[in-house]
Amino acid sequence: MKASDILNKEIIDLSTAQKVGACCNVGVSQKGERVLFLATEGAVVPFDKTKFGQEILCDSQTKSCDALFVLGKTVYADKGKLLGEIVDVNFSKKGKVKSYTTSLAKTFSPQKIAKVLDVVVLKEAKKRTPAKEQTIQIEKHTVGGDFLIGRLCDKDIFFNNELIVKRDTKITANTLAKVKRYGKLLELSLHAQEIKTNLN
C-alpha cells in the first residue's frame, strides 16, 4: 500500500456518520518505522481504526497527535546533500513502513533515517575500505601457498612466543606445512620475498 493510493480519498467517521475530509498526509512514529495516523485539513484519524475501500472508513478521530507528518518534508543526506521532498510512503496493511520516495526519485528505508523533525536527515552511508578488500584478495591467493616455495621469509614468525620461521630462511615444503599447521600461512605470504640473484 502507498500513501499516493489513499491521498485525496474521503475519510468517513462511522461513529458520527459524517465526512471528516480528504486524506492529505500520513503521520509516522518518531523513527519513521510505522504509520500511526492519517490526516485531513482539520482532523487526524488513528491508522489502526481505519478500513480502506473507495472511501476510508474510521470509527474515531482527534484534533491532534504526536506523530510526524512526513509528506512534503525535505530530505537531506548526512553531508547536507538535498535528496528532494517526500512524495510517497510504501507501507504494509498493518502500517509498517517499507520505504520512502522523494521528488528526486530517491528511495530509502526507515532504518536509514537518523533524525526527523522539520526535515529528514539520513544516516551516513557505510563505505568499504580498500585495505579490507586487499586482505580478502590476499587470502584467496594464499589458499594453497605452493607458490611461496623457494622464496625468502624477511621476518621472524612466531606462534605463542615460539619461533616457527626464522628470518632470511628459504621457504621449503616443510616450512609451508609448518605455517599451515599453526595458521600462519597468510603472515608468511606477506613476508615472502623473491630471491635476488646477481648476474655477471
- The pLDDT of residue 141 is 45
Q: Which tens digits make up the pLDDT trace of 60-118?
A: 888 777 788 999 999 998 888 999 999 999 999 999 999 999 999 999 999 999 988 88
Evaluate if residue 135 carries a pLDDT over 70: no
74-122 matches 3-69 in CATH topology:
yes
Q: Which tens digits make up the pLDDT trace of 4-48?
A: 999 999 999 998 888 989 999 999 998 899 999 999 988 899 999
More confident residue, 148 or 28: 28
DSSP readout, 183-200?
T-HHHHHHTEEPPP----
Q: Does domain 74-122 have CATH number 2.30.30.240?
A: yes
Cα–Cα distance for residue pair 112/90, rounded to 1 Å: 15
- The pLDDT of residue 104 is 92
Q: Average pLDDT, whole number, for the chain?
A: 85
- The pLDDT of residue 2 is 94
- Which numeric CATH code is attached to 3-69? 2.30.30.240
Model pTM score? 0.59
- Residues in contact with 25: Cβ distance below 8 Å, sequence separation at least 6, in sequence order: 38, 39, 69, 70, 71, 72
- The pLDDT of residue 125 is 73
- The pLDDT of residue 111 is 94
Query: Which residue ranges make up each domain of the chain?
Result: 3-69, 74-122, 130-193
CA dihedral angle for residue 93, residue 95, residue 96, residue 97, rounded to 10 degrees: 100
